[in-house]
Structure 1
Amino acid sequence: MQNKTQIMEKVQVSDYFNLGLTQSQLEFVDVRLDTDIPLFIDPSALKIMNTDWSRNCQRLISSYFRLVLENIRNGNEKKAKSLLVELSEPNETHFGHSMNQSQGRGMGQIRAIKIWEALSKSQAVKTGLVKDLEDTVLMIDGIGPDLISDIVTNIIREPLIQYTKVMCEKYGIPMTEFRTKKLWNPDKEIWERKNLHQVVASVIGNPKPLLLVPRELVRESITYNAEEFNSQYLYEKIQNECYSQGLVRTIKNGETRPIFKKDIREQFVGQTVKEQNINLTIDREAVLEQYKSTKDKYPLPALSSEELKKVLDKTRD
């Protein structure tokens, strides 16, 4: 029998376990096992899955981030950092930007401190604008789709292990009992490890757990987008405010139009998009609620089998 550790390069899950199935026939993302693929878990996708499993995931994310914010606002630096530092490198999904063997972007102690500092110093956190994890993408510098995906993966690791078990039973993939990375317990409000049945794949002789992820959860980015919120929601709100106050531009036929967005942008030279989002939202919280409501109902669409295949094939190059 050929040693699988010798043929790992550019092998997907379906190849490794000899499933004889293509991505269109699988419910999970058929990732490569030797590297990361440029896909991310979008927490907004959980809100339209409408299953007990997705609701449990949302509960885990909400309980964790609420506790982080609570400790930051109460000045409990030690507790907040202890919550953040346990977010390990989520190599198990093989999602991310790495072009070689998966390295992950988990925070570790240094990144945990940086995130704590960004949150604790942010007016968006102090004023209560940031309520949900996804809000940080709109207003906290240094937090983007890849980091959100990493954080979510850590928080919902146990549900993903449970989902992986269901998929393994369905597709005949072998599992073995293995010590987990840290799992979030919302009832005890602690991180803990368990011995659970997991999929273990060998890369260069080093066995590592593998998490299978539902196709419905993955996107090439995530739904929340700082630039979109800035331009299509805040700036348009300001345009309407100016128009109602008589601050308009007049076109050749004498009709009036809202001022250009570039004219608004010129007022905030030197501010990052996220700084603008904070400053402009403080007195316009209804705009943020409108944005969140819209995104909850209409997150980015799930990738089709063909779209997933293109991402996976591109990664193979």
Structure 2
Amino acid sequence: MRFSEYFKLTQYNQRSFDFVDVLLNTDVLLFVDPLRMQIEKKDIKNGLLFQECNNVLDDFFSTILDLYTNNKKIEAKKKFDNSHEINYTHIGYSTGKSSGNGNTPEILGRVFDNIIDQRLIEDNVINTLFDLNIFIDDFGKDHFSDLVVSIILKQLSDFTIQQAQEYKLILEEEREIGQYWDINEHNWKVLRSKVLLDQSGKPIILLPKKITVKDYFYKPEKYISDKVLVWRQNYHKDHETDLSKLFKNGIPSKKSIRNLEVKEEGLTLKEYLIKMTKKNPNLIKEFHTGIINPLLGTKSNVLTDKELTDYINMYRK
């Protein structure tokens, strides 16, 4: 059952809503994309919300990194205790009833230990929160989206309340629904808020459709294809390597480079990306810069209202 069906908003459709009209009895494989928050921050209706979300995410990332770089690892790891999957959004990898495994303190601890131990900040490999999805093994888009949602829970709750008021839905009494990142205290705080409840009596958190996607544009496969392998092709040609001599024009195929430098070296994709980015930090900087224009144009990863409706309908029981 869709949100709109349960709340008897059937005179509307996905095109009418600013939020994703989710199914309340299962999770749909969608993710919150913080890069879209940057792009949509000039949106007439919700631009200020997206800007606030950006600021909160930046503060979380910088706070954790500051603690690590100042040898306050224990204090940093305590801040992971409150990050967990928010089951009220009905998106992600869970099947059937929303339950989710989300981020645990142990997972996030390993992520940031990895960043520090490999000197990924000092070597200009990781510069933004988005880079976690590019470089960190066992931390894909599901964990990344879960982390983002938990950090900006208050902003999403405020958005949900605003949508409820717009459609004259009854909000239940204020209650504790989780914890969110407070930008002023640089720490987690308990969120008490009025809520919409689903058929099971559980809170609902609505997601703006402009920041909810099927896949990230900012991902390892795109980075290796668009930047890293192009650079390596030029390297092999310019240095007339043995690999380049196997090709008439001296430019090895991307597949041949992956076989030689990734597969035969026994590296994971993300290990290889770290290795190459350490050799040429400009690669990730150029990727940062070049990723925005496609997202503004025809290659945007935003789903149309029809695509979003059809996709969600695939999950109907």
Alpha-carbon distance in structure 1 between the residues aligned to 2:246 and 2:110 = 48
Distance 1:199 1:216, change over 3 A: same
**Gap regions ≥5 residues in structure 2:** 42-46
> How far apart in 2 are the matches of 1:80 and 1:128?
21
In structure 2, the residue matched to 1:143 is 139
**Aligned equivalents of 1:63, 1:146: Cα separation in 2:** 21
Partner deviation per Cα, 1:54-73 (whole Å, 9 max, x = no partner): 11111100110111122223
Q: Which residue of 2 aligns with 1:243?
A: 237
1:45 paired with 2:36, answer yes
> Which letter maps to 2:2?
Q
CA shift for structure 1 position 297: 3.2
Amino acid in the other structure paired with 1:224: Y
Q: Which amino acid aligns with 2:55?
A: R
User: Which residue of structure 1 lines up, in the alignment, with residue 81 of structure 2?
Assistant: 85
**Aligned partner of residue 197 in structure 2, secondary structure:** strand
The Cα shift of 1:249 comes to: 4.3
2:171 to 175, 183, 189: 175
Q: Deviations over 1:234-292 (max 9, x none)?
A: 111111123233444476xxx62412223322133201110011110112111111111
AA of the residue aligned to 1:274? K
**Which residue in 2 is equivalent to 1:70?**
66
Contact 2:37–2:50 (8 Å) recurs in 1: yes
The reply to whether residue 16 of structure 1 matches residue 6 of structure 2 is: yes
Number of equivalent positions: 301
Show the counterpart of 1:195: 192
Amino acid at match of 2:226: Q
Percent identity, please. Answer: 24
Q: CA RMSD in A?
A: 1.9
**Matching residue's letter, 2:107:** R
In 2, the alpha carbon distance for the partners of 1:307 and 1:167 equals 22
Q: How high is the TM-score relative to the length of structure 2? A: 0.88
Moved more, 26-35 or 259-268: 259-268
- 1:307 aligns with 307
Does the CA contact (< 8 Å) of 1:48 and 1:297 recur in 2?
A: no
Within 1, Cα distance between the matches of 2:191 and 2:92?
Answer: 26
SS in 1 for 2:193: strand
Change (3 A) 1:249 1:198: same
Alignment correspondent of 1:29 = 20
Detail structure 1 runs of 4+ shifted over 6 Å in the superposition. Answer: none
Superposed displacement of residue 140, structure 1:
0.6
**Larger deviation, residues 165-174 vs 239-248:** 239-248
Counterpart of 1:60 in structure 2 is 56
Unaligned runs of 5+ in 1: 1-10
8 Å contact kept, 1:89–1:106 = yes
In structure 2, the CA distance between the partners of 1:250 and 1:229, relative to structure 1 (3 Å rule), is same
